[in-house]
Amino acid sequence: MRFISLKQLTIFLSAIILNTFTSNAYSGEINLTKEQSKILKQYGLITIVEPDPKGAAGMVQAVIDIPVSPSILWETMLDCKGANRFIKGLKRCRILKEDPKGKWDVREHVVNWLALMPTTRSEFRSDYLKYRSIKFMRTGGDLKILEGEWKLKPVQRGTKTRLTYMARIDPGTILPSSMIRAVVETDLPKTLKALRKEAIRRDNQN
């Protein structure tokens, strides 16, 4: 188990939130309350971070509306070469194994939190339902727990995508789970907004 500072943890978690684009961790949809739906309509983004009764540091749920088609968002999320545009600290993205039909792959991400600090390696399998969902699960690397699912839903006749994220996260540090959840709660919106910005940029280039 490694020790890292709060600042390093912030950078690290912002990367692992998106470094697996899992799993039997969740099934079904995120059911928002009326108040949460109002917030989503007003700001285009809502995040929920809670304790995990199964032992991970936190359970994470998020919903973000992105004004591009599911196909554009899909290509953005799966692009290894351009992933460093929205994944903070990403130094390498590499596909280790892949299904010839594109139904799944195993990827490696190497993240550098800060200069002169050790890099972190994560390895994960993603199962794809094209333009609809990505289920991911840790298969190796330095993280203790990372599993969940992305879902893409077309809205406004396919001109916008509602992206949902559900995951269990534990970086395997000695910091308290409450502190890890606080960092995720602060940094997750920034990470998702970076993804939205990159998807819009790509859409504008088409």
- Mean pLDDT on 156-163: 95
SS3 31: coil
pLDDT beyond 90 at 158: yes
The answer to whether 66 and 196 have CB atoms below 8 angstroms apart is: yes
**pLDDT one-digit tens code per residue, 108-154:** 999 875 554 567 888 999 999 999 999 999 999 887 888 899 999 99
Measured CA to CA in angstroms, residue 129 lies from 25, 70, 104 at distances of 17, 12, 9
Secondary structure string (H, E, C) spanning 104-159: EEEEEEEEECCCCCCEEEEEEEEEEECCCEEEEEEEEECCCEEEEEEEEEEECCCC
Residue 97: inside a domain, yes or no? Answer: yes
**pLDDT class for 170, splitting at 50, 70, 90?**
confident
Predicted local distance difference test score (pLDDT) of residue 1: 43
Give the domain CATH number at 134.
Answer: 3.30.530.20
Cβ within 8 Å of residue 186, ≥6 positions away:
10
**Domain span holding position 184:** 6-27+34-205
pLDDT, greater one: 11 or 84: 84
Residue 166: inside a domain, yes or no? Answer: yes
Residue 1: inside a domain, yes or no? Answer: no
**pLDDT class for 58, splitting at 50, 70, 90?**
confident
Q: How many domains does the chain have?
A: 1
